[in-house]
Structure 1
Amino acid sequence: MTFSIVGRCAKTGQLGIAVSSSSIAVGARCAWARAGVGVVATQNVTLPALGAQILDLLQDGRHTPAAARDHALGADRWSEYRQVTVVDSQGRTAFFSGKEALGIHHAVAGEQCVAAGNMLTGKHVIDAMVQAFEQASGMLAERLLLTMRAGLAAGGEAGPVHSAALKVVGDVIWPIVDLRVDWADEDPIGQLDTLWKAYRPQMQDYLTRALNPSAAPSYGVPGDE
């Protein structure tokens, strides 16, 4: 039902996730990221609480990704139905796929990234995603989207995909990228890529407006000076 990539940019320290699913609004349940802390995907019969719980544990500074994963899953009586991936602010990784994960499922950690999926056409999909992320360059958001396209090209899910999401955190406490395609009959990953291309030229403007409105470009609306 879902495949995803969580990753960190070694150059900027940004953390991010891209995820797609046959279910509606995957970004509302599965994508969790906190600036300076980590990024988590929680999927496969999803328990959204795991995302916040793991990030809280990472933020306290006493837990590695593996320890945070184990602590959060240890409190979940249905943990064998879950699939979780983690990358922290240092690029350390962890993942878990329960024995009740749906269909063909797989998870692989790479260099500052983890890809995972369930109901896949084959485990090779996840291997292709990790390879794509490691070989990609440029902005983290674009590396994540390229990785999703690589997973799709390798076969993706066994059934149709209907939603996709992209989230990236950087130096501010709110996500600098938080884009979603909550439902599409066709190609939500392609639609998400189009949405990113529209948002990218404006991303810095929105940061400037938040941090220093006096230096912000005009809003382009009637009455704006």
Structure 2
Amino acid sequence: MNTSRKERSVSTFSIVGYDPKTDELGIAVQSKFLGVGAIVPWAKAGVGAIATQSYANTSYGSKGLDLLARGKTAEETLALLINEDADRHLRQVGIVDAKGRAASFTGQGCYEWAGSMTGPCFAVQGNLLVSEETVRAMAQKFVQTTGSLAERLLLTLEAGQCAGGDRRGKQSAALLIVKEKGGYGGFNDRLIDLRVDDHPEPIQELKRIFELQQLYFAKPKEQDQLPLTDDRISIIKSSLHSLGYLSLTQHWRDALQQFIATENLEGRMGTGTQTIDRVVFSFLQKKAKE
């Protein structure tokens, strides 16, 4: 039975990407559709990443990852998925496998403008767009941008919106990054799994949440460990006092530990006693000024 046009099309634009340096796979997506992150992005570490959209066949996600896990390439997986789908003319899907090979498909029934671009380690696709410039801008941004995969995907998504984006507007966005043992505690592969389900500026809100995710869960970098100079200790004391953590009889280190525990920043504390993480130092000052 053919899919009815009365169903809501997940008209959107997305980027599927792979970072060979870190073996991270991911998807970033934006749409004028509620909760797009629950439908479009699928990924498994060491296997591949898939974006399924436009009257999305969500079985493309689970079936596609299974095919990739069994050794099929992105192109082979795509062909198998669409060949067995009677409604493939309504589908749009992008796939990147764990070797960076990419494939994308846009059915003839997808609302204009609809299309895609692929290259080494990425697949960009969109439908119901203002113009093809959205896809072109995204592909160019991904290729030219450096940084972590998450940062590159977010910048790519933003470039697509700036170039026109979904012609109906904006509502939701999502970012999914997977890596072997990348999840909380190393128990799964969900390095980053963030969603903005309903917001007037979903990409900007997604970026804000991503910054929080980096604050709480990103591993501290050695170059971000600041020496505890007298000036910095003075700023720490002043900030802790204004926030109500530091009393006259309390040592500032104890107050700092209390602040860190309250704000869930334990993951950013190193083993050294003569340094403070740059991000924690900045966050403490920001909180004190609020």
Q: TM-score, normalised on structure 1?
A: 0.89
CA positional deviation for 1:31: 0.3
Q: How far did residue 10 of structure 1 move?
A: 2.1
Partner Cα distance (1:134, 1:175) in 2 = 24
- Shift of residue 188 of structure 1? 0.3
Q: How far off its partner does 1:220 sit?
A: 2.4
**Aligned partner (choices 191, 202, 205) of residue 176 of structure 1:** 191
Instruction: Kindly state the Cα deviation for residue 203 of structure 1 after the two structures are TM-superposed.
Output: 2.0
Aligned equivalents of 1:201, 1:35: Cα separation in 2:
23
Structure 1 stretches lacking a partner, 5+ long: 206-216
Q: Does the 8 Å CA contact 1:167/1:175 hold for their aligned counterparts?
A: yes
**CA distance in structure 1 between the partners assigned to 2:130 and 2:79 by the alignment:** 28
Q: Match of 1:7?
A: 17
1:214 is aligned to none
Taking the aligned partners of 2:40 and 2:132, their CA distance within structure 1 comes to: 20
What amino acid maps onto 2:100 in structure 1?
A: G
Deviation at 1:137, TM superposition (A): 0.6
Question: How far did 1:144 drift?
Answer: 0.2
Superposed CA deviations along residues 106-146 of structure 1, whole A, max 9, x for unmatched, are 10002310110001110111011001001111111010000
Counterpart-to-counterpart distance in 2, 1:204 and 1:128: 29
Counterpart residue number, 1:220: 261
CA distance in 2, matches of 1:44, 1:51: 14
Aligned residues: 210
Given the alignment, which residue of 26, 41, 44 partners 1:16?
26
**1:197 corresponds to which residue?**
211
Q: More relative contact order in 1 or in 2 (CA 8 Å, sep 6+)?
A: 1
Cα separation, 2, equivalents of 1:142 and 1:194: 12
Q: Secondary structure at the match of 2:155?
A: helix
* Alignment-mate amino acid for residue 69 of structure 1: L
Distance, in Å, in 2 between the alignment partners of 1:117 and 1:64 is: 22
Q: Percent identity?
A: 39
Gaps of 5+ in 2: 1-10, 182-187, 220-256, 267-290
**Given residue 101 of structure 2, which amino acid in structure 1 is its aligned partner?**
R
SS of residue paired to 1:220: helix
1:78 is aligned to 87
**After superposition, what is the alpha-carbon deviation per residue over 1:141-162, rounded to whole angstroms, capped at 9, x for unaligned?**
0100000110011111112110
Match in the other structure for 2:174: 165
The partner residue of 1:136 within 111, 126, 145 is: 145
Structure 1 runs (4+) greater than 6 angstroms displaced: none
2:66 alignment partner, one of 52, 56, 60: 56
Contact 1:7 1:113 in 2 (8 A): yes
Amino acid in structure 2 at the alignment position of 1:203:
F
Q: Does structure 2 retain, via aligned residues, the 8 Å contact 1:6–1:39?
A: yes
Distance (Å, rounded) in 2 between the aligned partners of 1:203 and 1:8: 21
Q: CA deviation at 1:47?
A: 1.1
Q: Following superposition of structure 1 onto structure 2, how do residues 26-45 of structure 1 map, counting pairs within 5 Å?
A: 26-45=36-55
Describe the superposition over 1:61-106 as per-residue Cα deviations: whole angstroms up to 9, x where unpaired.
Answer: 1x11111111122222111100000001100011100010112101
Residues 167, 179 of structure 1: 8 Å contact kept:
yes
Map of 2:154 onto structure 1? 145
User: Given that residues 176 and 203 in structure 1 are in contact (C-alpha distance below 8 angstroms), is that contact kept between their aligned partners in structure 2?
Assistant: no
Name the structure 2 match of 1:111. Answer: 120
In 2, distance between residues paired with 1:23 and 1:70? 27
What TM-score does the superposition give when structure 2 sets the normalisation length?
A: 0.70
Whole-angstrom distance in 2 between the partners of 1:154 and 1:160? 13
Q: Which amino acid aligns with 1:51?
A: G
